[in-house]
Structure 1
Amino acid sequence: MAARSGAGRTVAVIGGGFSGTICAIHLLQHLRGDDRVVLIERERQLGRGVAFATAEPSHLLNVRAENMSAFPDEPLHLLRWLDRLPADERRQGAKAGAAGTFVQRGLYGRYVRDQLAAVLRAGRHADRLTILNDQATRLVRHGSRWHLATRNGRSLETDIAVLATGNFPPAPLPYAGCVDNPWQPEAVEEIDRDHPVLLLGSGLTMIDVVLRLVDRGFRSTVHVLSRRGLLPRTHAPAPVYADLLLDAEDRRSLVSLTRAVRREITRAEIAGFGWRSVIDALRPHSQLLWQELSPADRRRFVR
């Protein structure tokens, strides 16, 4: 497959989970009219990836729906989409409480797919998007362009390549009774409901596994081993904080940024807001803040 001739650029998005699908949507909306997008995904359904492929009703987003719009300039977009669902689906797929609305992760994957379908239904973008149900296997720079090869023998020349490959599955462990990938469909089904289980790690994946065990009638004891012994904390109400201030001096390093965020939390608390509202206010800026950090500061942040 060769890129279409003409003055426009070709952008290949490798990976069609949440990040790749949303990236393709925004590219179609903001690139020039003669540019085109190729979205490559080995699974048949787009917009899911590991995060939103789960069909478990108890697996909810860990971010309130008010902060999960696919479009930064329309923060209530997801809530409006939910409101258009039939009442039964909305009731089953979204749990509302004092801390906000939390959506089933599988339903959120459907929301992402619906946004791509809406872009294609609009007509003006349909002929600029090519979706390949395939797997990218090779990406090599040729002059000013990239040469991309796929598992099914396709060849594509592209001006820009976006890697949206998500999290790779963990390496298999050669131990009997050890589940190395908790996201496998059979991971929990093979566990004896009357035998104790040890979970390594106490983060959100641990919560998901425990919920799956409970939903399947697990009767024994779950032991959780963690380096720090900390559990995910529940959400609390977080009203919108619109007074966030971060200037160039605040953003010059990870240390100055950390101090600035603590300063903003103090300012917010004086005004009657909590730290959660400040963190939510950072969300639209997180990509820019990350790009501004030096490689050394990025490594420090991850460490």
Structure 2
Amino acid sequence: MNLTNITIIGGGACGISAFIELFLQLRIAKSHREVSITIIEENKEVGKGLAFGTKQPGHILNTQADLMGIHFTEPQHFSDWLIEHDARIGSEVVDNQGENRAFTTRRLYGDYLKEQFEHYFALARNEGMDVQVIHASAKSVAREEPRFTIHLSGNMQHSCDFLVLSPGTPVADNYPDLNDKENYFGSPWPSEPILERIPKDADVAILGSSLSAVDALMTLTDNDYKGQITCYSPDGLMPRVQPADQAAMVDCKFLTLRNLHEIQRKELRNPTVKEIFRLFRKEAEAYAGGKIDWKATARTDKPAEKLLAEDIEIAKNGGDALSNIPYSLRYESSEMWKWLDESEKLKFKKWFGAYWAVNRHCMPLVNAERVNKLFTSNQLQVVPGLKEVVFDDSKNSFVLTHGDGNESVEKFVINATGPASAVKLMKSELMQNLAKDGLIEPEDAGGIKINTETMQVITGKSAYPNFYAVGHITNGLLLDVNAVWFNVKTIGNLSRHLISQIIGNPS
């Protein structure tokens, strides 16, 4: 009997979650012996990609444990796992706010992912399902109606009936001219090349000042680097600090789905960014108990070290309106984002994108205090206004232009600008070939075009019936695609839709 094959490209958090949910629903429907599942993963271990394969103790999850569960509708599963395995985790749990709200190392989370995958992979085989892992890189995909042929490294090919694109968070290739330079590191991960090739007393330049840059800083400080560290970024903004007590949620009264739907109902149109910002201001002032001097909340042109010290004290006192409201809206904000027209999404990214990022995606307090020590010891500085980075052969160094034409010369450069939003900037042979061959279509706001309800890939005006995508590559049409809980939620929708195409609507 020819089995219907589902292939998942990528064995990271999203790929594992998709595999588990597809297996569970097929097994419950008693159709698991009619379907095979293949996972294509380039790393030796499933679940141990760039982010969660790290060995550095300072690489910490930026989300508390009770939102990191890999199973659909069970966001607390990881925190339950931590409690169950308390004896073995030791110092891997940091900034502990109680076991349900702990922050852990990424390497421990990688262990959790690997364990969950291995358990359900073995269970699927024991239940008689045909499952396999191909350890190779997916290079390109050919559509051969009604199937796909995936071209893999090592001159291998693999064909499937349904394809789930889950390649993980794409590294940005925003400085392609530097890729062949010996002392240029295109990503903070993996950390091994950085530790092997940068002397511990060398000065180091980090491109960016976001969470990726914090990871680079932790790599250097974990390994006792003594040289001067300089973060260069366009806006110079560092992430804010997660409140010490994140249980304090804001019960929003103004910026709500109800009020945004009322605009749709009365005006027969989607809300605008300006309307959403007005509602946010009302919400923030209600939370603060009075008027806010909004000009004073501007963070650009203010020293990063001064802002960080202030943010640490704010976090220790439970946070403020600008950090707590976005955090409290994490479940609603993605739906709000869907209700914005594409032109409004672009306005939001232009006007508020940087501020949303630093307030919504904050760093854990333990890392903030370590970064603060780098500032107070004068080992770290943040330079805003980065405009250009080039390699000067005569100096055998990198020249960074910033501010009003100022230049800095650096010997070692780590690109920590964060994941690529636009497809054209994704350092992925697969993504570039998919775009070139017309199997995916870039979305102006970032990522690729998809049906946000079913996660089917869209080109032109049509959705592929058997081609799905999940994770960061959908970042334009969806908002919280760097959050495990959100991706797991979309995977639930994807799995139900995909299985319904194979066996109809399961009872």
User: 2:50 is paired with a residue of what secondary structure?
Assistant: coil
Check the 8 A contact 1:14/1:165 in 2, yes or no: yes
User: 1:186 is paired with a residue of what secondary structure?
Assistant: helix
Pairing partner for 1:269 from 287, 290, 293: 287
Q: Which residue of 1 aligns with 2:151?
A: 149
Alpha-carbon distance change, 113 to 295 in structure 1, aligned in 2, over 3 angstroms? farther
Distance 1:218 1:96 in 2: 23
Pairing partner for 1:182 from 152, 165, 188: 188
Tell me the CA shift for residue 260 of structure 1.
9.1
User: 2:129 is paired with a residue of what secondary structure?
Assistant: helix
Pairing partner for 1:238 from 246, 252, 255: 246
Q: Which residue of 2 aligns with 1:5?
A: 2
Q: Which residue of 1 aligns with 2:102?
A: 101
Distance 1:217 1:188 in 2: 10
Alpha-carbon distance change, 286 to 269 in structure 1, aligned in 2, over 3 angstroms? closer
Could you tell which deviates more after superposition, 125-134 or 243-252?
A: 243-252
Alpha-carbon distance change, 275 to 91 in structure 1, aligned in 2, over 3 angstroms? farther
User: 1:42 is paired with a residue of what secondary structure?
Assistant: coil
Pairing partner for 1:19 from 9, 14, 35: 14
Distance 2:167 2:117 in 1: 18
Distance 1:289 1:35 in 2: 36
User: 1:188 is paired with a residue of what secondary structure?
Assistant: helix
Alpha-carbon distance change, 156 to 215 in structure 1, aligned in 2, over 3 angstroms? closer
Q: Which residue of 1 aligns with 2:135?
A: 133
Distance 1:182 1:117 in 2: 28
Alpha-carbon distance change, 127 to 278 in structure 1, aligned in 2, over 3 angstroms? farther
Tell me the CA shift for residue 181 of structure 1.
3.2
Check the 8 A contact 1:70/1:112 in 2, yes or no: yes
Check the 8 A contact 1:136/1:151 in 2, yes or no: yes
Q: Which residue of 2 aligns with 1:60?
A: 60
Q: Which residue of 2 aligns with 1:227?
A: 234
Identity among equivalent positions (%) equals 24
Tell me the CA shift for residue 224 of structure 1.
1.8
Pairing partner for 1:29 from 16, 24, 28: 24
User: 1:70-105: per-residue Cα shift (whole Å, max 9, x none)?
Assistant: 135223211111112252x32211114349411100
Could you tell which deviates more after superposition, 55-64 or 269-278?
A: 269-278
Unmatched tracts of structure 1, length 5 or more: none
Q: Which residue of 2 aligns with 1:218?
A: 225
User: 1:10-68: per-residue Cα shift (whole Å, max 9, x none)?
Assistant: 32111112222222222222345233321101111111221111110111001111221
**TM-score, L = length of structure 2:** 0.51
User: 2:185 is paired with a residue of what secondary structure?
Assistant: coil
Check the 8 A contact 1:239/1:277 in 2, yes or no: no
Distance 2:6 2:349 in 1: 29
Check the 8 A contact 1:120/1:126 in 2, yes or no: no
Could you tell which deviates more after superposition, 207-216 or 283-292?
A: 283-292
Tell me the CA shift for residue 196 of structure 1.
2.2
**TM-score, L = length of structure 1:** 0.80
Check the 8 A contact 2:257/2:336 in 1, yes or no: no
Check the 8 A contact 1:188/1:209 in 2, yes or no: no
Between Structure 1 and Structure 2, how many residues are aligned?
Answer: 297
2:91 maps to amino acid: Q
User: 1:73 is paired with a residue of what secondary structure?
Assistant: coil
Bigger radius of gyration among the two: 2
Check the 8 A contact 1:60/1:104 in 2, yes or no: yes
Check the 8 A contact 1:268/1:274 in 2, yes or no: no
Q: Which residue of 2 aligns with 1:115?
A: 116
What are the residue-to-residue correspondences of 1:195-206 with 2, within 5 Å?
195-206=202-213
User: Which structure's relative contact order is higher, taking Cα pairs within 8 Å and 6+ residues apart?
Assistant: 2
Check the 8 A contact 1:198/1:225 in 2, yes or no: yes
Tell me the CA shift for residue 239 of structure 1.
1.8
Unmatched tracts of structure 2, length 5 or more: 265-269, 290-317, 351-507
Distance 2:40 2:324 in 1: 36
User: 1:187 is paired with a residue of what secondary structure?
Assistant: helix
Structure (1/2) with the larger helix percentage: 2
Distance 2:11 2:193 in 1: 24
Alpha-carbon distance change, 242 to 181 in structure 1, aligned in 2, over 3 angstroms? closer
Alpha-carbon distance change, 192 to 103 in structure 1, aligned in 2, over 3 angstroms? same
2:9 maps to amino acid: I
User: 2:149 is paired with a residue of what secondary structure?
Assistant: strand
CA RMSD after TM alignment: 3.5
Alpha-carbon distance change, 26 to 13 in structure 1, aligned in 2, over 3 angstroms? same
User: 1:177-200: per-residue Cα shift (whole Å, max 9, x none)?
Assistant: 433333241213322222322222
User: 1:119-161: per-residue Cα shift (whole Å, max 9, x none)?
Assistant: 2344466624221112222312222322223224443332321
